[in-house]
Amino acid sequence: MDPGRLLRRSEHEWEIAPSGGMRVPAVLYASEALIRAMDDKVGEQAANVAALPGIVRASFAMPDAHWGYGFPIGGVAAFDARRGGVVSAGGVGFDISCGVRCLTTNLARADVEAVKRKLADVLFARVPAGMGRTGSIRLSAAETDAMLSGGARWAVARGHGGEADLERIEERGRIPHAKPGTVSEQARRRQRDEMGTLGSGNHYLEVQEVAEVHDAGAAAAYGLAQGAIVVMIHCGSRGLGHQIGTEFLKRMAIAAPSFGIALPDRELACAPIDSDLGQEYLGAMRAAINCALANRQILTHLVREAFAGVLPDARLDVLYDVSHNTCKVETHVVDGRPCELHVHRKGATRAWGPGHPELPAALRTAGQPVLIGGSMGTGSYVLAGTRESGSRAFSSACHGAGRAMSRHQALRTWSGRQVVDSLAAQGILIRSPSDRGVAEEAPGAYKDLGAVVGAAEAAGLARKVARTVPLVCIKG
């Protein structure tokens, strides 16, 4: 993208001024180098989002933004129902509530290095990964309803973890107002055998070492220390969320003219928040959020069992679990007044600042942990929300490095075996059922994570707490 076509608000903030059907500006948070590396489609999509009814303040793009379906991935937008605001299935995405959970441990690198190969094999055996993989859990129709309503609380009640886990999960493990009855039979059928599975694509389970601490106070509050071992789990609502997204995008596209909505792009299919269709989608989407939270809770239980079999004295505690790909009802200050908004985050993460009342007491002083997944070879980051993030982009931050290369390009560039061997030479063990999937997710297919995180921090979206590097990666 040519930065000369944008208005530069500051070193890391850029604006596309309203024109045509845009109701508000589009704002991109990134360094000049990241802007230049972005596809022109990112600006086009952010501008199209700015044309949707009831949008508040601006359409935002995070430093990791890249082309997506309708909304850019890394897109954030908030809508006010009182102003005719809409909810967009494309603004949430297909993998509803895909997110990251971080577990802290009482282990150091030396503990893992002594058993690393065995640990990698046991994790790979215990945690089902890959396209279409099923788990050991089989849900009846009644249990499916209970899971879609109960989220991680449902999983804990059935023995997959403890009550302490719930305090460290967004929404305390369950988002209210889910409507399982709005989830189709096909979506349910796709999920009944997939609970406790990792999935494919960019989903992963990683054993990591904390390589660097940037904020000692926040790191201490989070239970992080240099040299300590953490585990990150990245996955979502599996086939159920994808089916919900597919079905409602079609319905919204067909219904848009009846609502008087002229779509700048059919992929931005939406419905008024207060319409029957809008409420039906929100109910189904919340059910998918609960599905993802339950899934990550079950995976946490499987990971603990795997560690117990290799390192019996290991203790794994939830640091935090936060989703991207959601639409949440939140209160934000707009024009000096608190306002209830429907905040869409697609490939973006909520980032409450210090003192926010919805944070657990132990985390409130430091701010919300913001979990930024990287690639298999480059590591990840733990950030913290900032006080100024609320005025920047409705308390939102980036969610990862962002792709620099399509999956097809990656397949033409690397083989899965080449990637596995290269990472093994660096001391990183990869376990995956698919060489193709490994090639698609090659580290070189992603942007420079350090540059993305640096831009997020410089823009005031979140601040760096710690950087981690992978030791073992279970890849879907």
Q: Is 330 exposed, middle or buried (0-12, 13-18, 19+ CB in 10 A)?
A: middle
Residue 116 included in any domain: yes
User: Of residues 377 and 227, which shows the higher confidence score?
Assistant: 227
Cβ atoms within 10 Å, residue 365 = 12
Residue 416 included in any domain: no
Residue 164 included in any domain: yes
Closest C-alpha to 437, from 194, 208, 131: 131
The average pLDDT across 266-272 equals 96
Structural domain tally of the chain? 1
Q: Amino acid identity of 455?
A: A
Task: Determine which one of 160, 203, 344, 399 is catalytic.
Answer: 399
pLDDT at 279: 98
pLDDT at 167: 97
Residue 281 in contact with residue 249, Cβ under 8 Å?
A: no
Q: How far apart are CA 154 and CA 191, in angstroms?
A: 15
Residue 410 included in any domain: no
Give the count of alpha carbons within 13 A of 310, CB side only. 22
Residue 373 included in any domain: yes
Domain span holding position 308:
3-404+446-475
Residue 266 predicted with pLDDT over 80? yes
Look up the CATH number of the domain holding residue 214. 3.90.1860.10
pLDDT at 401: 85
Supply the mean pLDDT for the chain: 95
Residue 315 included in any domain: yes
Q: How far apart are CA 176 and CA 283, in angstroms?
A: 9
User: Which residue reads 């596995």 in tokens?
Assistant: 420
Per the annotation, the verdict on 399 as an active-site residue is: yes
Residue 428 included in any domain: no
Instruction: List pLDDT tens digits, range 298-323.
Output: 999 999 999 999 999 999 999 999 99
Residue 436 included in any domain: no
Largest Cα separation within the chain, whole Å, is 64
Instruction: List pLDDT tens digits, range 247-262.
Output: 999 999 999 999 999 9
